[in-house]
Chain A
């Protein structure tokens, strides 16, 4: 990149030598925008083929999906609400991914974050609400962070594969939640659906003014922006990217890879735990089995679709939130099973992963080949 440095105060991007570099920058950005978008469209097309094969109208499907997801202010707000936990759940996958780790057990951190928040909310009952809400947030962060941080520690210090361990720990976390919610934390008044004590109204998190969307959306967006700054603009993020590229090289450079891995995975799990806390404080009002609603798994898809870029997670999570939000309407209007959205998500996921093979293959995105061709 030394050739981008031009003298005499000429902006590097537009300097004589900087021109190819700028072109390459644009080409690379275009590539990482066009390929996922194309993959999304191909995935949608394959799904409409599937819908046609089971005898329904793809046109009606997409019309319904648009109406349910983004067709009105009401549905946009619904999509934003569904996207809010996905922002945080996706960070739980994207941050470790920058270190080369595939963590898929975010669901466990969400569940435990929610349980911790509910327990703290019940224990501090009577204290001023800002303190309690803050304590619940910290509790959610700490519970999720410990859970996924342990996955990172096991990975680095014991070489335990993080994909499998995080998933096993998600199952353990759900069992732990069931045990706590059925046992010591159970509210005797919750009969059919065992829950913890409901939070007092003053400890609930309300909506963003002027919207029917709770503050979790803002928390999620801010978390994504902060994560982006952390990865792209700080030396820890830089070190993480080096370690993600090549652990040995990072160790030779004298980077403390262990603390880096534990720190990043703990932060990632903390975000997921925060998602659980928000689910309790803003949506459910108590911890119960609804915490394991699958946000952790949809978050994997969001992170991969966003190519583990925290800023790209924001639009992708809202898009996936929209697909999720339109699920109910699709079921009713097209008379399809509720797993329809799951099939769509699976198809999108496969096509998007497949599209990884296309990077660097197209002339259109390679300025060198471009110039040679012309």
Chain B
């Protein structure tokens, strides 16, 4: 079969491929945010962490010529940002949402500051597995070229889903998130648990950033993230703090993000910029549909400030 013969079939194929490619940072940031929010705290600064992670990963990969070391560096940088957020929020009267906004500015600022010299050089990419190798059609091959981080993210969401239900650590995070008082009665220190949960959340967001700069779009620029970190926060709410839901929602968002480019590739150029806004519009619609003024959201951690 000739490649050009698939015609309009190219659209769903491009959306599928786009969903797989675009969703990976969403998976990592939203899993990280799910852990943080389950512990009763919200970190809006993950947007800044994502951007800083992208820069760190790229810079370290350029210098060491290894994408994996870059990935680890990004995770470590994200961990530091998360721990900083966790530490500062444990002081009384410090608002976790506002600190998140500040860290978003600060993380992006630092990333742009240190990332300036790395806009030109080329970093080695993270590897992808060509699941589409059986096909002769380049579109199919392109759509099924799946990065290893996507697979790791998929496995991680299952593990987290299982761990929240069945492990002691999962129980501790849930108790702390539902009631600080109950946690204290159990002899747990909510501040410490939240500190660690925010740190882990930051590390995962850093990995999401590494994917952006080391695989797709695969270079470091100052416009590398367009709110993925923040959309992930909304995505977690939509997914009801369930890691499996996060994975599914991330795929949905990735698909929405791929809608514009997919339609453009078959010649639909009308409203290109509005299609570009599709993920944001989708997020907003989902938030409106799932919020309710009369009851708190099912599955919402009791201590979470954003759903009160």
Task: Give, as a whole number of angstroms, the nearest-CB distance from A19 to chain B.
Answer: 29
Q: Complex Cα distance A118/B276, Å?
A: 23
Contact B95 A337 (CB under 8 A): no
Interface of chain A: mostly helix, strand, loop or mixed: helix
Which 8 residue pairs of A and B lie closest in terms of their CB atoms, listed nearest first?
A346-B106, A342-B109, A339-B112, A175-B277, A349-B102, A179-B273, A343-B109, A178-B273
Tell me the smallest distance from the CB of B303 to a CB of chain A, in Å. Answer: 15
Contact at B93–A356, with CB atoms within 8 Å?
yes
Query: Size band of the A side of the interface?
Result: 35 or more
**Chain B residue contacts of A156, Cβ below 8 A:** 293
* B226 touches A (CB below 8 Å): yes
Asked whether A337 and B112 contact (CB < 8 A) given A168-B231, A176-B277, A354-B91, the answer is yes
The interface residues of chain B lying within 8 Å CB-to-CB of A159 are: 291-293
Stretch at the interface among B153-161, B209-217, B279-287: B279-287
In this complex, the member of B91, B116, B237, B273 whose beta carbon has the largest number of chain A beta carbons within 10 angstroms is: B273
Is the beta-carbon distance between A340 and B113 smaller than 8 angstroms?
yes
Instruction: Flag if B113 contacts A339 (CB, 8 Å).
Output: yes
Determine whether A161 belongs to the interface, using a CB cutoff of 8 Å to chain B.
Answer: yes
B43 contacts A by Cβ under 8 Å? no
Interface string of B264-276 (1 = CB under 8 A from A): 0000000111101
Interface residues of B in 75-105 (CB under 8 A from A): 88, 91-95, 97-99, 101-103, 105
Cβ-defined contact, A102 with B106, below 8 A: no
Q: Which residues of B contact A172 (CB under 8 A)?
A: 277, 280-281, 284
Cross-chain contact of B274 among A176, A342, A345, A349 (Cβ < 8 A): A176
**Chain A residues within an 8 Å CB radius of B111:** 339
A154, CB-defined interface residue at 8 Å: yes
Q: A342-B108, A346-B105 in contact; A161/B287 too (CB < 8 A)?
A: yes
- Of the listed residues B103, B111, B226, B277, the one surrounded by the most CB atoms of chain A closer than 10 A to its CB is B277
What are 24 inter-chain pairs, A to B, with CB distance below 8 A? A160-B291, A164-B306, A165-B287, A168-B280, A172-B280, A175-B273, A175-B276, A179-B271, A179-B274, A182-B272, A301-B105, A337-B116, A338-B112, A339-B108, A339-B109, A339-B110, A342-B113, A343-B106, A343-B110, A346-B109, A353-B94, A353-B98, A356-B94, A357-B93
Distance between Cα atoms of A165 and B291 in the complex (Å): 12
Minimal beta-carbon separation of A101 from chain B (angstroms) = 11
